[in-house]
Amino acid sequence: MTKTVLVADAEPNSVIPLECLLRREGWRVLVAHDGDEALGTARREHPDLLLLDVLMPRRSGFEVLQTLRADAELAATKVVFLSARCRDTDVAQGMGLGADAFVAKPFSTRELAARVRALLA
């Protein structure tokens, strides 16, 4: 069964290469451009993994993750933060809210693909 990855990022320059990478790996890719859209898509589609930026319009990545973890149907969704905002306090907050990983932008596509593969295994 094909795994589904939701990419939630407001920056097209981040989304487009991620879409290409993830599709090349064989996964179904969904895209959301703000926090509200990410939650709506997650509730509708139940992705296996969410690649989530911290800084997004309408609702931050932290707020999205907190809402996901409080929802019994979505609480087990794997979440990886991809963010240029990666101070120690940001990483600690994301991991404290239940993120599975926190990856700093810019990132190695090879390493990100390996991390996603491991989380989806």
Q: What's the CA gap between 49 and 55, in Å, rounded?
A: 18
- Domains annotated on the chain, with CATH: 4-120 (3.40.50.2300)
Q: What is the pLDDT along the chain (121 residues), one digit of tens a residue?
A: 799 999 999 988 889 999 999 999 999 999 999 999 999 999 999 999 999 999 899 999 999 999 999 999 999 999 999 888 777 888 888 888 889 998 988 888 888 999 999 999 9
Q: What's the CA gap between 24 and 45, in Å, rounded?
A: 21
Is pTM, for the whole model, over 0.75?
yes
In contact, 5 and 48? CB cutoff 8 Å: yes
